[in-house]
Structure 1
Amino acid sequence: MQDIHRLLPAAFEGWHYELVYKSIRHIYFRIYPDKKIVRISAPHQISPKTLEYAILAKSAWLTNKITTANHVVQPYKPISAMTDSCSCMVWGKKLPVVRKAFKSRPGICLTTESEITIRVPSGYDAKKEEKLWQRWLRSLLNERIQTLLEKWQPVMGVVAAECRLKKMKTRWGSCNTSVRRIWINAVLVHLDPCLLEYVLVHELAHLEEPGHTQRFYQIIETYLPDWKSREIRLKQIALRQ
């Protein structure tokens, strides 16, 4: 492999470069913020001089992209193996988790605004506990969504046939206008509630205007005048996990 590091911008802390030769016709530069990798894919037959020119031409672009990626916030997600000292992000707040031995049915609850209590028998199976956390987080999200639907549907004059949850890698929400079904990203339970509200209003607006037209954004502006600031906050969160 050719020594390309002398041509590239100094790698930021934790980042590294990869040069991969493939059966392709052009050179491609890809940034992977989650892995902190810059991957350069080049044709097998490329000459060292051509590769050098291409890398030098992309130097400023790479520096800008890596700098931007370093400031992207990763989404909060629950820890699979909960421990006495762990915490969990709920509605944008990092709350301590208090574990209590309990012989009856396992459960999780927000005992106060600043603490989560989990009650499970001693030695409770880790996989079962992870499922318990997932069910609890989904119940919190579904409850908040229902409250928001009751608030916004009458105001906007639209009704969703159903609203479901799922983990999505590229979207915070989606709307199937033909069947009037809305999907909400389950990760939103870990973020500020105002971001969930924006996503839901955004998808409800699609029931009136399917495309991202000027009229669509006028609808959003009518109900959420600060929608742009909420959208910017969501764009600063990397969905890929």
Structure 2
Amino acid sequence: MSTTSAYLSVRGIDIDVVYKDIKNLHIGVYPPMGRVRVAAPARLDDDQVRLAVIQRLSWIKRERNKLRSAERQTEREMVTGESHYVWGVRYRLKVVERPGRAHVEIDGERLVLYVQAETTAEERRDYLDHWYRAQLRQAIPGLITKWEQTLEVTVPKWTIRRMKTKWGSCNRETRHIWFNAELAKKHPNALEYIVVHEMTHYFERGHGERFTRLMTQHMPDWRSRREQLNGSPLAEEDWRR
């Protein structure tokens, strides 16, 4: 079965489209972030797919809201025994109560959080979040430098922040790039993919044919990296077991 793919943006929602030798159009909304994917008959064009998406927009938004609500319900208790991910590797959390400053470190298969007694779950989450951000601050500069040379552009400013629906974003006018703090939990390949994705927006605003061509030119395996990233859990991953 022959297939072709495309990116569309509909009312601010990015749509992955795969054209196949099928009879009917199918729209899916996938966890963890509400990624929208359309499987469309090869006989349709982008405008026809866009119209089909607009007609189902209310349903798509409801499904995305359900995923985000479910995500908020999985907030961690930050106690020993929970599973947490660092760069795609799963670790068991061990909480050690002791005097002094909070500290996080990896010890074998454990992610150890040193905190004072009586710290709340929210305070522990903040400590771990700061540690995750520190991991990104160490990893991002080298990737940006690498791809600045490859793409022959300059990234004047980048920021880490928590985002509910995107792994990254880019302001083409200021060239400011934002990275989702959750990326520190994902495989390093995912972070590099987002770096290249956002820097490619310097050349092309949307996710159309030119954007796809540029991504393929500079990162031939970007689709597999994207699938790995979008298929990985965002918050649900950390259930206690």
Q: Which TM bucket (shorter chain)?
A: 0.5 to 0.7
Matches within 5 A, 1:160-179: 160-179=155-174
1:212 correspondence with 2:207: yes
Show the counterpart of 1:203: 198
Residues 161 and 179 in structure 2, CA contact (< 8 A), matched pair in contact too: yes
Residues 170 and 177 in structure 2, CA contact (< 8 A), matched pair in contact too: yes
Show the counterpart of 1:134: 129
The residue matched to 2:207 in structure 1 has which SS?
coil
Paired residue for 1:158, among 153, 159, 162?
153
Aligned-residue offset at 1:188: 1.7
1:80 correspondence with 2:69: no
Matches within 5 A, 1:100-115: 100-112=96-108, 114-115=109-110
Aligned-residue offset at 1:78: 9.0
Structure showing greater Rg = 1
Show the counterpart of 2:85: 89
Q: Paired residues, what number?
A: 174
Which letter does structure 2 place at the counterpart of 1:167? R
Matches within 5 A, 1:25-104: 80-104=76-100
Residues 101 and 119 in structure 1, CA contact (< 8 A), matched pair in contact too: yes
Q: RCO (CA 8 Å, sep 6+): is it higher in 1 or 2?
A: 2
Q: Please tell me the root mean square deviation across aligned C-alpha atoms, in Å.
A: 3.3
Q: CA 1:102/1:78 → structure 2, altered by over 3 Å: closer, same or farther? A: farther
Q: CA 1:189/1:78 → structure 2, altered by over 3 Å: closer, same or farther? A: farther
Q: CA 1:211/1:85 → structure 2, altered by over 3 Å: closer, same or farther? A: closer
Segment of structure 1 superposing worse, 172-181 or 98-107: 98-107
CA distance in 2, matches of 1:140, 1:203: 19
The residue matched to 2:203 in structure 1 has which SS?
coil
Which letter does structure 2 place at the counterpart of 1:106? A
Paired residue for 1:180, among 158, 169, 175?
175
The residue matched to 1:158 in structure 2 has which SS?
coil
CA distance in 1, matches of 2:74, 2:146: 28
Aligned-residue offset at 1:136: 0.9
CA distance in 2, matches of 1:107, 1:78: 24
CA distance in 2, matches of 1:118, 1:125: 13
CA distance in 1, matches of 2:119, 2:82: 16
TM-score computed with the length of structure 2 as normaliser: 0.61
CA distance in 1, matches of 2:163, 2:217: 28
- Structure 1 unaligned blocks of 5 or more: 1-29, 35-64
Which letter does structure 2 place at the counterpart of 1:122? A
Which letter does structure 1 place at the counterpart of 2:92? P
Q: CA 1:186/1:159 → structure 2, altered by over 3 Å: closer, same or farther? A: same
